[in-house]
Amino acid sequence: MRIVSVPRARFLAFIEIDELNMGGKIRLADCVAPIVDRYQFSSFPQKIEDFDLDKGLKFGSGKAGDSVIDSLVIFDGAMFLDTLSSTDDSREILFGMLEWGREALGLSYTSDTIRKWGFISQLVFYTDFPLLSSISSPLQKLAQKTSNETEKFFSGLKYEPMSIAIGHDPNVRKHGIAGLTIQHRVNTLFSENKYFSEAPLPTDLHIKFLQEFETDVLESLK
């Protein structure tokens, strides 16, 4: 397996925005310019309608040291930060941002302010063999039978498994957590063995699970 890009590495912090303003002295609009100046965001809230916490205050294309911040979005009860490197980087930058905000902006932030957190990791990778079509013999048979039938009307089409997804029962939790998916990368031939995967996991654990999955699939072919 060869990882070639990280389209998104998101750290999500569930935090009540009012708890960052215990003294009631801070206006969100007054925080924008210092944040933009420190983190070099190219896009940021400017018009009155941009300050809707239900839709999220959106900052885009910034930097923290050598790391690109793809986006920072602040809601009433949560905020998330995306980088193009890893969820560890995203978490470190967001924590650093809140600590800086305590000193520079007067935020009433403490380590207990964040009630819980989550992750979204996206990866693009290559394998040396057709990963999805090798997972299951019954799936291979179903794809082959479908190919045989469609060949009668449309020649040259070979059906293969396109994606897999695992997730929790949506009836168990009101606000669901993302599943883990693997699919052929958009705009690439199946024969390129290039894939896209998303998971509600830290980036390093996401990579580890994919590598172990690749190994398990290869073992099943022996």
pLDDT per residue as tens digits for the range 179-191: 999 999 999 999 9
DSSP string, 46-63: -SGGGG-TTT-EEEEEEE
CA distance 61 to 42: 5
Q: Does the structure show a pLDDT above 80 at 175?
A: no
Give residues with Cβ within 8 angstroms of 147, minimum separation 6.
Answer: 157, 158, 159
Residue 15 near residue 77 (C-beta atoms within 8 A): yes
Residue 143 has pLDDT above 90, yes or no: yes
Model confidence band, residue 79 (pLDDT cutoffs 50, 70, 90): very high
Tell me what the mean pLDDT of segment 99-117 comes to. 89
Neighbours of 165 (CB within 10 A): 10
CA distance 145 to 159: 9
Q: How far apart are CA 105 and CA 19, in angstroms?
A: 14
Model pLDDT, residue 128: 95
Rounded to 10°, the helix 87-104/28-39 angle is 120
Tokens 């396109």 locate to 162
pLDDT of residue 55: 92
- Token pair 């957590």 is found at 177
- 172 confidence band (pLDDT: 50, 70, 90): confident
Whole-angstrom distance, CA of residue 5 vs CA of residue 123: 6
* pLDDT, position 174: 78
Q: What is the pLDDT of residue 20?
A: 87
The mean pLDDT of the chain is: 93
Q: Which domains does the chain have, with CATH numbers?
A: 10-118 (3.30.310), 122-220 (no CATH)
